[in-house]
Structure 1
């Protein structure tokens, strides 16, 4: 276990879950996000059966589900009777804004993954498995000339900035930073662990939640050989993610505050 002293640049887009897709979205972005947060709070007050707190509250722990980071397997481990679709891939900043009181009282945790492996897994998902109509149309029609990840990388490299490619704003390609930080780039999750070696993290979760069962990896993707692929710009794009993942992977578990580290050492 280690204390993570790491700073990110500010995310360029709202945390997943806080995006506003509406004709009025051209109005001040902050105002529209606050309106969305208010609507989300009201929805969960009226329909508590749809609220993420339904699964978070029994364990007093909030799971920030990063796509392609063994999140379905972790759902099975923590909430075996809850379908994975019940918890969307929302960022920590969504939970902080929608459930501010619970956010400060619960353990907030996330899993991290080697960014290049995650990128390759995300490409495979979008190319072969996504059922979202807009994504399916773009991959099958607009980008039908892309057959392999090498094709995809050369196409991405033609963009002046990778962020200018629409696909890089899709959930599975977004930086892991976007899921664990607030709008200023401050990490707001309490604990992170790497999916490449989850046992230390699962041990802490088990001691905290009382969950005692074996984890079964679902949807595990094969490792992609990236040695000769033109990945320099992708490496740069995910550079901060890689630096954080290296720290967490080395230490097995990372905490973001001394208070959190001390608290879990006493479990």
Structure 2
């Protein structure tokens, strides 16, 4: 009698679970259409993962090494995945790579000043960046130009890294936060998670460290600007 009851309970739970998946699938389809974006990529659905690609952290490199992917998956915040499909969000493995905020800012500055990509807004920003001889000069301008400051911080490359992991969801929702400075460790860990054998981490371009580039005043400014990143991801200010 008890076994029959338990089978009925399991059957009911299975039906409810499948109904939720169908409901979330329909909702995700509508969500993507309304927002003109495909949140969950084919690769993420295939391997059941969510990768939060924070700009200028070496994210394309780890995707290339793990999945032989030659293009990025976009810079979508964790909350967007949560809103698009709760079933997948709860089931999929979620990870990201972060970087020292000083290095990331310098890397973003150099990348965008050199042209970045062909988006119109990036071209406009490039025109602003090329006015400045170096990153310290650019930071000096940010200090005295609030309008420029607001505009710059709206660019995805300069947004705080915590922006991509926060919102109306638990911070503990992310399963693995790796660091660009120790990419090998994250790569080996994720390789085991996804049962991907005989892979090697493809070498990344190594950029000059911030200590060779940023002035004391610039580092002070950036620490105040990205203080939450420093604290949340346990990076030293090293002023």
TM-score by length of structure 2 reads 0.75
Q: 1:52: how far off?
A: 3.2
TM-score by length of structure 1 reads 0.68
1:197 correspondence with 2:182: yes
Which residue matches 1:180? Answer: 165
Q: 1:173: how far off?
A: 0.4
Radius of gyration: which is bigger?
A: 2
Higher helix share: 2
1:218 correspondence with 2:209: no
Query: Partners in 2 of 1:143 and 1:76 — Cα distance?
Result: 30
Unaligned runs of 5+ in 2: 1-27
Which residue matches 1:132? Answer: 119
Relative distance call for 1:198 and 1:132 in structure 2 (3 A) is same
Map 1:1-267 to 2 at 5 A. 39-42=30-33, 52-80=40-68, 82-85=69-72, 87-130=73-116, 131-140=118-127, 142=128, 144-160=130-146, 164-183=149-168, 186-212=171-197, 213-224=199-210, 225=212, 226-246=214-234
Q: 1:184: how far off?
A: 6.8
Query: Partners in 1 of 2:110 and 2:84 — Cα distance?
Result: 32
**Secondary structure of 2:50's match?**
strand
Unaligned runs of 5+ in 1: 1-36, 249-267
**Secondary structure of 1:230's match?**
helix
Q: 1:101: how far off?
A: 1.0
Q: 1:161: how far off?
A: 8.6
- Check the 8 A contact 1:109/1:191 in 2, yes or no: yes
Relative distance call for 1:60 and 1:186 in structure 2 (3 A) is same
Query: Partners in 2 of 1:172 and 1:106 — Cα distance?
Result: 26
Aligned residues: 205
Query: Partners in 1 of 2:134 and 2:188 — Cα distance?
Result: 38
